[in-house]
Amino acid sequence: MFPVKGLARLPALSLLLLLLLARQLHAEQAVLRFDWDQEILNLGLHDDNSTEQANDGCIKACHLLQRLLPVTTDSARTTAYAKEEYWSSRQAEVTPQCFVQPTTAEEVASIVSLVSKTKCRFAVKSGGHGAFAGASSIEAGLTIDLQLLNELSLEDAEQPTVTRVGPGNRWIDVYDYLTPRNLSVLGGRVAEVGVGGFTLGGGISFFSPKYGWALDGVRNYELVTPDARILQVNRDSYPDLYWALRGGGKNFGIVTRFDLETFPQGPMWGGVTYSDVQHTEEVIDAFEKFAFNAPQDLDAHAYIFLDFTDDIDRLRAGSVLAYARAVEYPEALGNFTKIPTVRSTLRSTDVADLAREISALNPTNMRWSYSTATFVVSKEMLRACVDIFIEEAETIKHREGVVPVLVLQLITKDVISRFSRNGGNCLGIEDGEGPLLLLNFPVKWTRAEDDAAVLGAAKRIRDRTTQRARKLGLYHRYLYQNYADGEQEVFASYGEENLKKLRDISRKYDPAQVFQKLQPGYFKL
Query: Does 521 fall in a domain?
Result: no
Pair 82, 226 in one domain? no
Q: pLDDT tier at 224 (50, 70, 90 boundaries)?
A: very high
Cis, peptide link before residue 239, omega less than 30° from 0: no
pLDDT of residue 25: 41
How does the average pLDDT of the chain come out, rounded?
A: 89
Pair 371, 242 in one domain? no
d(CA 86, CA 384): 34
User: Does the pLDDT value for residue 245 go beyond 60?
Assistant: yes
Pair 35, 110 in one domain? yes
Closest CA to 246 of 301, 17, 255: 255
Domain boundary among 148, 173, 207: 148
Rg of the chain on CA atoms, in Å: 23
Pair 338, 419 in one domain? yes
The predicted model scores a pTM of: 0.91
d(CA 57, CA 40): 10
Indicate the Cα dihedral angle 410, 413, 419, 425, nearest 10°.
60
Report which listed range, 50-54, 59-63, 102-106, 346-350, is most confident. Answer: 346-350
Cβ neighbours around 470 below 10 Å, total: 11
d(CA 524, CA 251): 7
Residues 6+ apart with CB under 8 A from 174: 152, 163, 165, 185, 187, 195
- List the beta bridge partners of residue 98: 2, 142
Mean pLDDT of 142-170: 96
Check residue 113 and give left, alpha or beta (phi > 0: left; psi -120 to 50: alpha): alpha
Query: Does 518 fall in a domain?
Result: no
- List the beta bridge partners of residue 232: 222
Pair 60, 172 in one domain? no
- List the beta bridge partners of residue 303: 320
Q: pLDDT tier at 19 (50, 70, 90 boundaries)?
A: very low
- Domain of 243: which CATH number? 3.30.465.10
Closest CA to 508 of 115, 201, 123, 231: 231
Pair 23, 157 in one domain? no
Pair 63, 198 in one domain? no
Residue-wise pLDDT tens digits, 392-423: 999 999 999 999 999 999 999 999 999 998 88
pLDDT of residue 12: 39
- List the beta bridge partners of residue 144: 100, 124
Exposed, middle or buried, 452 (CB in 10 Å: 0-12/13-18/19+)? exposed
CB 280 within 8 A of CB 290: no
Domain boundary among 126, 148, 170: 148
Query: Does 517 fall in a domain?
Result: no
pLDDT of residue 142: 92
Q: pLDDT tier at 383 (50, 70, 90 boundaries)?
A: very high
- Domain of 74: which CATH number? 3.30.43.10
Domain boundary among 124, 148, 172: 148
User: Does the pLDDT value for residue 3 go beyond 70?
Assistant: no
pLDDT of residue 310: 65
Report which listed range, 7-16, 106-115, 205-214, is most confident. Answer: 205-214
Q: In what order do the strands lie in the sheet with 367-369?
A: 367-369, 443-445, 403-404
Any idea which of 190-204, 250-264, 293-307, 320-334 has the lowest mean pLDDT?
Answer: 293-307
- Domain of 304: which CATH number? 3.40.462.20
Mean pLDDT of 320-332: 98
- List, as one string, the DSSP characters of 411-462: E-HHHHHHTTGGG--SS---TTS-SEEEEE--EEES-GGGHHHHHHHHHHHH
Q: Is 164 helix (H, G, I), strand (E, B) or coil?
A: strand
Residue-wise pLDDT tens digits, 27-59: 455 444 566 666 666 666 555 554 455 448 898
Pair 167, 123 in one domain? no
Residue-wise pLDDT tens digits, 76-87: 555 566 667 899
pLDDT of residue 8: 41
User: Does the pLDDT value for residue 73 go beyond 60?
Assistant: no
User: Does the pLDDT value for residue 371 go beyond 90?
Assistant: yes
pLDDT of residue 308: 84
User: Does the pLDDT value for residue 7 go beyond 80?
Assistant: no
Would you give the DSSP letter of residue 189?
A: S
Pair 197, 140 in one domain? no
More confident residue, 418 or 68: 418
Pair 309, 433 in one domain? yes
Q: Domains in the chain: how many in total?
A: 3
Residue-wise pLDDT tens digits, 489-524: 999 999 999 999 999 999 999 999 999 999 998 999
Query: Does 368 fall in a domain?
Result: yes
Q: How far is CA 405 from CA 206, 466, 470, in A?
A: 20, 18, 23
Domain of residue 248: give its range. Answer: 152-264+496-509
Pair 135, 170 in one domain? no
Q: Which helix (H) or strand (E) holds 36?
A: helix 36-42
- Cite the beta strand spans of 217-281 per DSSP E: 218-224, 230-233, 254-261, 263-264, 268-276
Query: Does 525 fall in a domain?
Result: no
Pair 337, 200 in one domain? no
Query: Does 9 fall in a domain?
Result: yes
pLDDT of residue 94: 86
Query: Does 333 fall in a domain?
Result: yes
d(CA 50, CA 509): 24
Closest CA to 332 of 414, 255, 401, 390: 414
Query: Does 478 fall in a domain?
Result: yes
